[in-house]
Amino acid sequence: MSLKVVSTTAATDEITAKPVLDDPHHPLNQISLKIRDSIFKIHRTFGPGLLESAYEECLFYDLIKNYGLRVERQKILPLQFEELTMANAYKVDFLIEDQILLELKACEKITPIHRAQLLTYMKINKSRLGYIVNFNEKLIKNGIHRFVL
């Protein structure tokens, strides 16, 4: 199976990996707008410097209360390998509308292992869209990284 991945920031938000996601009216893009709006609102309110858990709590609250999204937080997901099923194999920060994976960070910079982790989670979960968000950026647009499979 060949996967083409495009990582972009919120500033450009270009998607070339899957033409169907080029459509701004695609349901995943509509959900993405709500997610990004909430991220910008929280970062505008607090800026960088908080613990990841504080941003997580605020984002969880905002996405449900103000955007009406179905959000599962610290969602434990299974892993299947041949006949082996591991019920508690990995945990994602957010699973939004059963489709979009969101990993939050409050660190100096996003590293290749952060990207690899999200891409692996997306592949295992069969999610087409995922984000890594680093709230520890002066400009949050530089901290939002979008991945498409």
Please give the share of the chain, as a percent, with pLDDT higher than 90.
81
Q: Which two tokens stand for residue 121?
A: 């989670």
Of 13, 1, 3, nearest to 37 by C-alpha is: 13
Other CB atoms within 10 Å distance of the CB of residue 110:
20
Other CB atoms within 10 Å distance of the CB of residue 126:
8
For range 103-119, the mean pLDDT: 97
What's the predicted TM-score (pTM) here? 0.84
Residue with tokens 């707008």: 33
Other CB atoms within 10 Å distance of the CB of residue 35:
25
Q: How confident is the model at residue 23 (pLDDT cuts 50, 70, 90)?
A: confident
Of 19, 38, 32, nearest to 145 by C-alpha is: 32
The C-alpha atoms of residue 74 and residue 69 are separated, in whole angstroms, by 16
The C-alpha atoms of residue 130 and residue 144 are separated, in whole angstroms, by 10
CA angle (54, 59, 60) in 5-degree steps: 100
Q: How confident is the model at residue 21 (pLDDT cuts 50, 70, 90)?
A: confident
**Backbone φ, ψ for residue 24 (5° rounding):** -65, -15
Q: How confident is the model at residue 10 (pLDDT cuts 50, 70, 90)?
A: very low
